[in-house]
Amino acid sequence: MDRKTLKNLEPSRIINGSRAGIISTKLFLNVFLHALRSSRNPFKVISELNTFSKKRTKIQGYSKINRYLKHEGKYHFADQIPGFPSGTFRRFFEAELTRVRGNPEQRILMNTLIFSITSRCPLNCTHCFESENIASKEHLQLDDLLVIMEKLKVLNLTHIQFGGGEPLSRFDDLLRLISNAKSDMDCWLLTSGYGLTLEKARKLKKAGLTGASISLDHWDENKHNLFRNNTKSFQWVQEAVKNCHQAGIIVNLALCATKEFTTADNILKYYELAKEWKVGFIKILEARKVGRFKGKDVTISQGQIEMLRNFYLETYTDKKFSTYPIVMFPGFDQRQVGCLGAGNRYMYIDSKGELHACPFCQGSVGNVLKIPLTTAVERLRSNACQVFPVSTF
Ligand code: SF4
């Protein structure tokens, strides 16, 4: 992607330094006034916000938010947290405040759902976590998906990720689901980028899409294509990034950090490429024994985890990264406070409607079309994460 093309494509940009400080002050005042409306006691609110901030620092590992992604007048500091200011951000904050206040009635306070809407996919990736469900025919009809979306309303979600399979393989239904959901929550796409043309990107934007998480598993084109078993995959990722920028869709690059990839040199080169492509976020997902990786020795070493952890924290503390994309590393949060999936802050529905802790810890607790969601969440919380204890945070 030549620099001139990139120069003209800047729907979202990183805000740092003193300007980020001003945004943080505005954010604090906004949530303070909002919390005061339901508390009337400013001292109590100050202590609640203090608890909230300590929790956020514990989970994310850094106290000061040193940069935001500005997109269409809203400021984002994490991919799964709605942009501020917005009604969706206020609802996100209300749920977090309810956790701080410990309101027993409010048993379900999830904010994110990962929803596999199709079993079809043009790719055949080495690590496919959905491999057991991939098929040429859909397991769920559009009516089933619409019923599920209706049922989800009890969860008061603020963020939904439509995945698959390849969700672009079910494009018209995807547009329908996004336009149905957008008023309630931020809609994101989990995609390989395969076939994400400018025309499709514009239609997704018009339907209400906020962001696209595009899978890129190496900075080296050949190594990425090898991992994805497709000679055009890297090109499509590049094309998809460019088309999303042009359509005004936030871009996250999602990396499957394998043993082979996870070196300090590779992660830095990947980060440099993400900056060059002007993406807003990168997300580091450790390889897990699920799908095509089930039973395989894919878990990265303690040394590699340590390297990723230090890299992640450095991107928030080292000034040289202040203009780089914002880094998400769920493996950091999970080691800090336990698993935030498994019905805590998020869960996963696969392309058959089965409910799981997350895409990487699969074990169904029931089918969303057959059991009440509240029951499913209870079951998820009791035993679902296979790697970390379910967080109480
Ligand atoms: S990982 Fe995603 S893109 Fe790759 S084969 Fe599986 S569903 Fe398709």
Ligand 1 mean position to 227 CA, how many Å?
A: 11
Contact predicate 166/194, CB 8 Å: yes
Ligand 1 mean position to 156 CA, how many Å?
A: 29
So where are the chain's domains?
10-86, 106-383
Q: Which numbered atom of ligand 1 lies nearest the CA of 194?
A: 3
Q: 164 CB less than 6 Å from ligand 1?
A: yes
The protein residue whose alpha carbon is closest to atom 2 in ligand 1 is: 165
Helices (H), 288-370: 302-317, 330-337
Q: Which numbered atom of ligand 1 lies nearest the CA of 192?
A: 3
Q: 1 CB less than 6 Å from ligand 1?
A: no
Q: Which run of H or E residues covers position 163? A: strand 159-163
Q: 125 CB less than 6 Å from ligand 1?
A: yes
Q: What is the pLDDT of residues 11-31, one digit of tens each?
A: 699 999 999 999 999 999 999
Q: 290 CB less than 6 Å from ligand 1?
A: no
The protein residue whose alpha carbon is closest to atom 6 in ligand 1 is: 128
Whether 49 has a pLDDT exceeding 90, the answer reads yes
Helices (H), 40-116: 42-60, 87-101
Q: Which residue has the higher pLDDT, 385 or 376?
A: 376
In testing the pocket of ligand 1, which one of 114, 126, 130 has its CB within 8 Å of the most ligand atoms?
Answer: 130
Distance from C-alpha of 281 to C-alpha of 29, rounded to nearest angstrom: 26
| Confidence class for position 388, pLDDT limits 50, 70, 90 | confident
Asked: is 106-383 a CATH 2.30.30.230 domain? The reply is no
List the single range of 96-105, 238-247, 254-263 with lowest mean pLDDT.
Answer: 96-105
- Residue 11's pLDDT is 66
Q: Between the CA atoms of 51, 57, 58 and 62, what dihedral angle is there, to the nearest 10 degrees?
A: -160
Q: 192 CB less than 6 Å from ligand 1?
A: yes
| Confidence class for position 113, pLDDT limits 50, 70, 90 | very high
Q: What is the pLDDT of residues 289-345, one digit of tens each?
A: 999 999 999 999 999 999 999 999 999 999 999 999 999 999 999 999 999 988 899
Contact predicate 362/311, CB 8 Å: no
221-250 average pLDDT score = 97
Ligand 1 mean position to 167 CA, how many Å?
A: 10
Ligand 1 mean position to 35 CA, how many Å?
A: 42
Q: 166 CB less than 6 Å from ligand 1?
A: yes
Beta strand 346-349 with 326-328: parallel, antiparallel or unpaired? unpaired
Helices (H), the chain: 3-8, 17-39, 42-60, 87-101, 142-152, 171-181, 198-207, 221-227, 233-247, 264-276, 302-317, 330-337, 373-383
In testing the pocket of ligand 1, which one of 125, 230, 237, 285 has its CB within 8 Å of the most ligand atoms?
Answer: 125
- Residue 21's pLDDT is 96
* Maximum mean pLDDT: which of 51-55, 249-253, 341-345, 382-386: 249-253
In testing the pocket of ligand 1, which one of 128, 214, 351 has its CB within 8 Å of the most ligand atoms?
Answer: 128
Q: 216 CB less than 6 Å from ligand 1?
A: no
> CB-side exposure of 339: number of CA atoms within 13 Å?
22
pTM comes to 0.94
Ligand 1 mean position to 388 CA, how many Å?
A: 25
Phi-psi group of 102: left, alpha or beta (phi > 0 → left; psi -120 to 50 → alpha; rest → beta): left
